Structure 1
Amino acid sequence: MENFKKILLRLKNELSVETDNQIAEFLGLTPAAFRTRKNRNSFPVHQLTEFVLAHPELDLDLDYILGNVKTPKEKKGLEIVVNPSAIDEFDEEMEIDNLTPKEVLLVKYYRKSSKRGKDNLLRTAHMEAVLSDHNL
């Protein structure tokens, strides 16, 4: 249950709440369902991801909450990139001539989107990458 407790503590800290029942409510779970998940050491990552996506105004850092990074990100918004370290990962030499049809479609959708839509696409892609890093 150690991993569950660490995630829960970071989430409580990020949301400035104190009780498990408050977290359960944020995640759309009953207190009993949340306790059951806690007893099984099975954090409701799907509900957490949905909550983070539904509330971009809270600027929650899924990497930090899940324990992928040790400190919360700097609160700079998405003006640069969802995760500032992604700038370092950008490879200008990456081959982009052989994009799959889905990748081309994603770029087209991104370019047609408003700033808010672009931010949401980046945030969603980032969260999916984080979940993949955690094998979730």
Structure 2
Amino acid sequence: MSLFDQILNRLKIFLNIEKDSDIAQLLGMAQSTFASRKQRNSFPEENLKELIRREPWREIDYQFIMTGKLSTFEEINRRLKKVSGLANDLDVIRALDITGDEFVQARLDNLFPIPALYNYINNSTHKKINLDYVISGKTATVEQYGVHLIEMLEKLATLSTEEQLNIIQQVNNLYALHSIVNASKTTN
């Protein structure tokens, strides 16, 4: 399968379109011109970018269509929607307080507007959103574990001795189970 066909198939699936002629029309091309480009294995990238600019509501990830891999922009965008409850790109644009054109250009450049994201998350109503997770997809770094342990110990100190003992026993049981799982992995 040619590169053109791979790109075309991803675009068809994403847009839920079956015919080449419908894709050509969306890309603003005559069917004959599109067919000629297909024959030369030369996908009309600029036409795709123009479609993304013209119809941003379709939420087309340029990099995904061209390569089959989600862009960093789209990965961040999806994580932000997931943790914040924002439903679509229009909601994200409003939340980040940027223009639609800025958002679309950021999508095409594969550069999520991090300063606007930072401002949004630091808004007092959104402080529970983990900026590191939204940007990197990681929930905690090694450096953060110490902070988490301190918070857990502070919470543990507020419990009765009996409750503390119960939690410590549960943690010990989990650690023992974890050790067994790791040992079985090394023997396989």
Query: Which TM-score bucket, shorter chain as reference?
Result: 0.5 to 0.7
Q: Name the residue aligned to 2:58.
A: 58
- Is the CA contact (8 Å cut-off) linking 2:4 and 2:41 kept in structure 1? yes
Distance in 2, Cα, partners of 1:64 & 1:129: 11
- Number of aligned residues: 95
RMSD: 3.0
Which of structure 1's runs of 4+ aligned residues deviate more than 4 A? none
Quick check: which has more Rg, 1 or 2? 2
Structure with greater proportional helix content: 2
The Cα of 1:84 is off from its aligned counterpart by 3.2
**CA deviation map 1:100-134 (0-9, x unaligned):** xxxxxxxxxxxxxx9351x431331331348xxxx
What TM-score comes out, normalization by structure 2 length? 0.44
SS of aligned partner of 2:29: coil
Out of 83, 97, 105, the position equivalent to 2:74 is: 83
| C-alpha separation in 1, matches of 2:35 and 2:18 | 15
Asked if 1:125 corresponds to 2:106, the answer is yes
Q: Higher relative CO (CA 8 A, sep ≥ 6), structure 1 or 2?
A: 1
Structure 2: runs of 5 or more not aligned: 78-95, 112-188
Counterpart Cα distance in 2 of 1:56 and 1:11: 15
TM-score (norm 1): 0.59
| Paired position in structure 1 for 2:40 | 40
**Identical pairs, percent:** 30
| Aligned amino acid, residue 83 of structure 1 | E
Instruction: Return closer, same or farther for 1:116/1:54 CA change in 2, 3 Å cut-off.
Output: farther
